[in-house]
Chain A
Amino acid sequence: MNWLKKPASDTQLTHGDRLWLYFVATIIMLLLVIPTFIVIPMSFSESQYLEFPPEHWSARWYNVYFESSKWMRATVTSVQVGVLTMLVATPMGVMAAYALFVSGHRAARAIFAFLITPMIVPVILIAIGAFYAYGRVGLNNTITGLVLAHAVLATPLVMIVITSALRNYDLNQERVARSLGATRLKAFFVITLPQIKFSIVTSALLAFLTSFDEVIIAIFVSGGVNATLTKHMFSSLRDFIDPTIAAISTIMILVSTTLLLATQFIGSRQK
């Protein structure tokens, strides 16, 4: 156990002195992830009902999921809405973040705060508001309506990621480019954009995930043939509990973690 006697950091503490901290940190991390991962073994159960731990193992609920037209349709809707949300929220968020970052106007801070309120306001309020507003203009149960509402949630995330990328970027580069003969637009596309592209990809993936994982707004404003995966899962849980939900959850965990790991990986490449 030589390792215990080695210094843990620049301080005088050794790993031995820090052992209690490692223990506490591990417990906390496990408490954070175990509730999520408990569905994985449950999804491989033979049983008709959700059970943990499963007595017999099988992949039958995955077959149910992949063979059900209802579930497949919902999956397609979810992916569709996610991609469209990403396509709406990413350019809007990038443009807003850039404009507010570059602007020296004293209202810029206030506008930024205003635009990120959807992150602070309880989502249920946005959902109720959207439901009644959409009722007037006929956007309930439409892909468009869902995409717009999800873009409201995703845009602040894009703005925060892009703003932090711009903070690490020397805007004088754009000024130099302009003094050298580039228009402002060209300077942005040729000089700034290539240097924040990894942050843009990261924010786009986050925008997709925001929509893909979202359930509250989907419950209110999506339905019929345009119901999302999350909405179907929620209604299924209410009506009858079968392990298909666990199988779908497992797939969603897989998608989400893969995308999040991708953003981490991309982020680390952008020094």
Chain B
Amino acid sequence: MSSHPDSESSGASTALPIHIQGLTKKYGQMFALDSVDLEVKSGEFLTLLGPSGSGKTTLLMAIAGFNRPDAGSIRFGETEVILTPPHQRNVGMVFQSYALFPHMSVAENIAFPLKLRGIAAAETAQRVEAALTTVQLDGLGDRDIEQLSGGQRQRVALARAFVFRPRILLMDEPLSALDKKLREQMQIELKHLHEQLGVTTVYVTHDQREALTMSDRIVVINHGKLTQIDTPHNIYNHPANAFVADFIGESTMLPLEHDGSGKLFFQDHLVETDFKTDAARNWSLVIRPERLFMADKKAVDSEKAIVFSGVVRDFVFQGETAFALMSINDKYDLAFRFGTDSSSSQNILQAGDQVSLGLNRSDVIIIPQGDDS
């Protein structure tokens, strides 16, 4: 732990990249991590996103040093850390339960990592003050943990994790115990804090909206394998497979047929004219509900958009948007969403109405069927 950089320079110069290769962890017969390769760039905010049991927490704990992988390598910068115990890895960590020490005051909690590093009392006090200011808790250092609200506890946990200037920050669903409003506010604050500290951050969540809000890049993980690694924009607009398309955002998937000459059809709708594919695979059309628009069948240029017709089966008002299901030939349900502003004539739909929905060809997403890419 003596190796930590103690320079005053904040920001990207103290951040470290993480290189993970072939990381494997088995619990009995089940692979929690199945030969995972991952490069976390220096100073990046990377989110591990997946359902429970996907392996995202196992991966985070392996980086922190709390579980020992069966095989593979984890390097912080150039240093191999797979055999380094947690207390020598010099990573800040925030847990879902905050794990604040209830027998210490707020300031004592934050000073804990500094004391362990033998930093002098005067500097410790000054750094604790600075950390409290960063998380907007000025003057609350003397409080007991029990006197704090959930949001305040979250901030103390954060301050404690970065006060010793670790080069890597790990967070395990740190916001999931907060209510929705506070959670959304903290997401923005965390993003700003990350920009301010410039520290390499690995964040675990099962909340896809949180991942989209905060991350530079998102790693979608399922059954111990990394399914897709990309920016939030690309993950949403170009999901690699059905699992990603389904897990992130809302979507309807419609089966496609190819005629062998590069044309893909959904029923009699021509979806794609020049698609390179091996014939053995089946493909699906992914439609994001908010990308559909009410269309007048004759007025739409079929070069630019595909128009689906059907009957409204369900209609729900949800505040900022309304959600509906349109049944196509009683066989497929197409989900769609639209705004609820007063000028919108669409919010007078009723079940049983005949409607046409347009999808711009630029919004067409085609993915292979099945969960593996």
A interacts with B: yes
**B165-204: contact bitstring with A at CB < 8 Å (1 yes, 0 no)?**
0000010000000000000000000000000000000000
In the bound complex, residues from chain B placing their C-beta under 8 Å from that of A184 are: 85, 87
CA distance A170 to B86 in the complex (A): 18
Query: Are A178 and B99 interface neighbours, CB within 8 A?
Result: no
In the bound complex, residues from chain B placing their C-beta under 8 Å from that of A191 are: 101
Query: Are A181 and B93 interface neighbours, CB within 8 A?
Result: no
With beta carbons under 8 angstroms apart, the residue of A179, A186, A195 that contacts B86 is A179
In the bound complex, residues from chain A placing their C-beta under 8 Å from that of B101 are: 173, 177, 191
Query: Are A181 and B99 interface neighbours, CB within 8 A?
Result: no
Given contacts A172-B95, A176-B93, A176-B95, contact A183 B103 (CB under 8 A): no
Given contacts A173-B99, A195-B103, contact A181 B66 (CB under 8 A): no
With beta carbons under 8 angstroms apart, the residue of B66, B102, B160 that contacts A180 is B160
- Tell me if A182 counts as interface (CB < 8 A to partner B): yes
B357 to chain A, nearest CB (A): 48
* Residues of chain A from 114 to 138 with CB closer than 8 A to chain B in the complex: none
In the bound complex, residues from chain A placing their C-beta under 8 Å from that of B102 are: 195
**B86-121: contact bitstring with A at CB < 8 Å (1 yes, 0 no)?**
110111110101011111000000001100110000
In the bound complex, residues from chain A placing their C-beta under 8 Å from that of B116 are: 180-182, 186
- Tell me if A15 counts as interface (CB < 8 A to partner B): no
A-side interface residues, number (CB < 8 Å): 18
Query: Are A175 and B93 interface neighbours, CB within 8 A?
Result: yes
Given contacts A181-B117, A181-B164, contact A175 B90 (CB under 8 A): no
- Tell me if B64 counts as interface (CB < 8 A to partner A): yes
Given contacts A180-B164, A182-B87, A195-B103, contact A175 B113 (CB under 8 A): no
Query: Are A178 and B86 interface neighbours, CB within 8 A?
Result: yes
CA distance A186 to B87 in the complex (A): 10
In the bound complex, residues from chain A placing their C-beta under 8 Å from that of B65 are: 178-179
**B54-97: contact bitstring with A at CB < 8 Å (1 yes, 0 no)?**
00000000001110000000000000000001110111110101
- Tell me if A194 counts as interface (CB < 8 A to partner B): yes
A126 to chain B, nearest CB (A): 38
B-side interface residues, number (CB < 8 Å): 28
**B285-315: contact bitstring with A at CB < 8 Å (1 yes, 0 no)?**
0000000000000000000000000000000
Given contacts A179-B92, A180-B160, contact A170 B99 (CB under 8 A): yes
B99 to chain A, nearest CB (A): 4
B113 to chain A, nearest CB (A): 4
A193 to chain B, nearest CB (A): 10
CA distance A203 to B164 in the complex (A): 38
A252 to chain B, nearest CB (A): 36
A181 to chain B, nearest CB (A): 4
Query: Are B99 and A183 interface neighbours, CB within 8 A?
Result: no
Query: Are A181 and B1 interface neighbours, CB within 8 A?
Result: yes
CA distance A183 to B97 in the complex (A): 21
A60 to chain B, nearest CB (A): 52
A184 to chain B, nearest CB (A): 8
CA distance A182 to B100 in the complex (A): 15
Query: Are A175 and B103 interface neighbours, CB within 8 A?
Result: no
Query: Are A175 and B66 interface neighbours, CB within 8 A?
Result: yes
A186 to chain B, nearest CB (A): 8
CA distance A176 to B156 in the complex (A): 13
CA distance A187 to B93 in the complex (A): 15
In the bound complex, residues from chain B placing their C-beta under 8 Å from that of A186 are: 116
In the bound complex, residues from chain B placing their C-beta under 8 Å from that of A183 are: 85, 87
In the bound complex, residues from chain B placing their C-beta under 8 Å from that of A182 are: 87, 112, 116
Interface centre among B65, B85, B92, B99 (most CB of A within 10 A): B99
Give the nearest-CB partner of B1 in chain A: A181
With beta carbons under 8 angstroms apart, the residue of A172, A173, A179, A194 that contacts B87 is A179
Those 3 A-B pairs whose CB atoms lie nearest each other, nearest first: A180-B113, A179-B93, A172-B99
16 inter-chain pairs at a CB distance below 8 angstroms, sorted by A residue, are A172-B95, A173-B101, A175-B64, A175-B66, A177-B112, A178-B65, A178-B87, A179-B87, A179-B170, A180-B93, A181-B116, A181-B117, A181-B164, A184-B85, A187-B87, A194-B103
Q: A179-B64, A187-B87, A195-B103 are in contact. List 12 more A-B contacts (CB 8 A).
A: A172-B97, A176-B93, A176-B99, A178-B86, A179-B87, A180-B92, A180-B112, A180-B113, A181-B90, A182-B116, A184-B85, A191-B101
